[in-house]
Structure 1
Amino acid sequence: MKATGIVRRIDELGRIVIPKEIRRTLRIRETDPMEIFTDKEGEIVLKKYSPLGELAECAKEYSESLARTTGNVVCISDREQIIAMSGTVKKELVEKPVSDKLEQIMHDRENFMSDDNKRNYINISDEIENEYNSQIISPIICHGDVLGAVIMLSKDGKKQFGEQEKQMVMVASDFLGHHMES
């Protein structure tokens, strides 16, 4: 564990303020759910809670099915990182943080499809060099909250996604959102 040198006191209601610098670095926003863990040494660990993380196996199976059906790469993310990736031998994006632009698309709750020649293509994660030519992104919404996104990618420079692929990605995100509600 890394020490920050920051000390905070517990108030009369048992609350501790997480410093702004740490919240900004870890992308913790107001109202973000946090999980609380304790260990044998008496340490308390806070971790951002990801409802989609609980569905990681389901998300992986869904992404594999969609990738097999379409022949494209399919990723599923929560609001912080890519949790599943299928349709490619290497899983280079799994557990990589989502880019600020992807986070903004999720926040805007808009479906997104890149146009020809990568003019409006966005990197899914800033940690991996972009090697894809086409993409579709559809936010996963549950009880009015954005939980993540379903992303379809293609490396084929001659292939541009159309309405059919967009509808498939939208169905996937809608299915995962409704699955979280039950």
Structure 2
Amino acid sequence: MKKGIKRNIYIHEIDLVPLTIKNKPREEFRKHLESVKYRGYEVEQLADGRKIVITKPGGKFTYGQIKREDFMVWVYNPNNSGLWLISHKDICNDLEVKAQNNPQETVRLIDALEKVFKGEEPEDVLKALKLNALIGEPPELILKAYKWIWGQEDCNYPHGEGREMSMKVIRHLRKRIATETPKQNF
């Protein structure tokens, strides 16, 4: 690298909170640092008390460069301070289990995901949907989490597929459920 050239400089607004920790011997300093709280944004409230939360930055690197608009999507449980870094894979696994138990309702849930994918608010879709009970995570969590996961994918791949990458997998699952489940009206 040439002398005087700076790398990894990003121009972006940042919300800062003052933090002062006096230097200490290694273990004592580490313990103080580990107690620093996570920072994020509450973006959705779930009926069961959990929340969809995003933290920014997310830390994604592409070709050695950090994706400055990346963020992480979490399900936060204020009752036990649990943070679940929910992923597309987690939701697909949940949909697979739902499909084994109730294929017809799972297809309806996937159809609802399609509406959120196209830009409808999850809350509006849920009001119109009235799904029957499904095992696993509630449909509300799935719809609200995907709204933000898709936003994350769109930020990370603005000139690529974005949200289409994960929706392809969900559409394939819907097609498979519909073909493997005889005599059902989907």
Q: TM-score range by the shorter chain?
A: under 0.3
State which structure, 1 or 2, has the greater radius of gyration over its C-alpha atoms. Answer: 2
- Give the number of the structure whose residues are more often strand, by fraction: 1
Provide TM-score, normalisation by structure 2: 0.24
